[in-house]
Amino acid sequence: MVELPSKSPALIVDIHTHLYPPSYVDLLSSRKTVPYIYKPPDGSDPRLIILPSDDDVSKPPASRGRPIDSSYSSLDVKRAFMTQHNIAISVISLANPWLDFLDPSSAPSIARTINDDLQSSCSNFNRSNSDQKLYAFGTLPLSAPPAAVIAEITRLKSLPNIKGIIMGTTGLGAGLDNPALDPIYSALELTSTLIFLHPHYGLPAASFGGESSLSRTGHVLPLALGFPLETTIAITRAFLAGVFDRYPSLQILLAHSGGTLPFLAGRIQSCVAHEREFTANGGEKPGPVRDIWDVLKKNIYLDAVIYGEPGLKAAVDASSHDRVMFGTDHPFFPPLKDPAGRWESVDTNLKAIEGAIWSERVTRGILGGNAVRVLGLEV
């Protein structure tokens, strides 16, 4: 019996991993209103307060918001996490809420500072490290006038390790179907800048049965459902408003495997086909021209942060095997029982990718090959 040569391990690229660079930590620490980093007067550990509901002064400091430790900002922590999970390349991004909250006048300079900081973080990391590489998604001063946003989109192309931008689901504040976003979409399309679309705002508490229902279940309802449903609504609003008709080359990477878009795409398309108010059916409202399935195969990329085979396969089926990319959501969802061990949240996603019966080529693409190709990463 001939022994086959052992296969080389797959290159793993993490395209969903958050980091707050020093300038962003400084920004949040300098603030006293949401979002901000709260340093309790009793000297206990600082807390990250990013949602209005976190900002409850009646609670003891240690139960407001969430602890913010070095895992949010340390490159050494990121490096150790990558080593532990055999991740060769990470594409870091700010965690929510990015710069959505900034005053229009200060937003452009702060965005430049943070993006330069992201670039230098990547450069420093890569210089001191031969086996691992760091890239980043930049951030945009979306509260500033469009010209300033477009200027930063253009400038980002000169930063070699910035491979796209991260954006929340509200865009300029009114959602991704806001016509005021058109010049921004146009600039992103012209510069071939990938948008990494990420949730933050969730759904109104009433959606979950109000505060009593929410309080019984910790963070599960807003995190497990609020986030992906927010993403689904945001991208569907963009689709229905004809964004992909006007910007047919726009490229959007959806967090958490698209929220629920791969699962609901058929229902969305069927409802569009049956909507009497759309001009295609004799009504007076424009409606989208392109088909959502076509958009999924040409404009949408999906991360593989879905924690199960049924969802992962639906993501691959709805977009394509060469548009789905591994991610971890680090530093969120750390292991609770063995903080030094491998992360269950990471292994659940790896198991789904490796458990699905795909060719080795497809598995390798999802683990890292697709990210290298789509983002133009140097291996």
Say which DSSP state 103 is in.
Answer: -
Q: How far is the CB of 213 from its own copies (least distance, A)?
A: 6
Question: Of the candidates 106, 175, 245, 246, which one interacts with its own copies according to CB under 8 A?
Answer: 175
Chain positions 316 to 335 lying near its own copies, rule: CB under 8 A, are 317-318, 333-334
Tell me how far, at minimum, the Cβ of 359 lies from its own copies, in Å: 16
State in angstroms the smallest separation of the CB of 348 from its own copies. 6
Q: What type of residue is 62? A: A
**Contact (Cβ atoms closer than 8 angstroms) between residue 256 and residue 232:** no
Contact 12, 86 (CB under 8 A): yes
Tell me, residue by residue from 348 to 367, as one string, x for binding to its own copies by CB under 8 A and - for no binding: x---x---------------
Q: Which of 287, 322, 354, 358 binds its own copies (CB under 8 A)?
A: 287
Which of 1, 2, 57, 206 contacts its own copies by CB under 8 A? 206
Would you state the structure tokens that stand for residue 57, as one six-digit string?
Answer: 């002064």
- Amino acid identity of 2? V
List the interface residues with its own copies, window 300-319 (CB under 8 A): 306-311, 313-315, 317-318
Compute how many residues bind its own copies; rule: CB under 8 A.
72
Q: Which letter does DSSP use for residue 360 in this model?
A: H
- Of 285, 297, 361, 373, the residue at the interface with its own copies (CB under 8 A) is 285
What's the per-residue H, E or C state across 283-320? CCECCCCCCHHHHHHHCEEEECCCCCHHHHHHHHHHCC
* 72 belongs to the binding site for its own copies (CB under 8 A): no
Are β-strands 300-303 and 89-93 bridged in parallel, bridged antiparallel, or unpaired? unpaired
Query: Is the N-terminal amide bond of 97 cis, ω within 30° of 0?
Result: yes
Footprint on residues 258-277 left by its own copies (CB under 8 A): 260, 262-277
> Which alpha helices (DSSP H) does the chain contain, by range?
22-29, 75-84, 107-127, 146-156, 182-190, 210-216, 220, 227-240, 243-246, 261-273, 292-298, 309-318, 344-355, 360-364, 370-375
Exposure pattern of 347-365 as b/e (b: 16+ CB <10 Å)?
eebbebbeebebeeebbbb
Closer residue to its own copies, CB minimum distance, 193 or 236: 236
CB of 137 to its own copies, least distance (A): 22
Binding mask 213-232 toward its own copies (x if CB under 8 A, else -) reads: x--xxxxxx-xxx--xx--x
Nearer to its own copies (CB atom), residue 146 or residue 287: 287
Which residues in the 5-34 window bind its own copies by CB under 8 A? Answer: none
Least distance CB 6 / its own copies (angstroms): 30
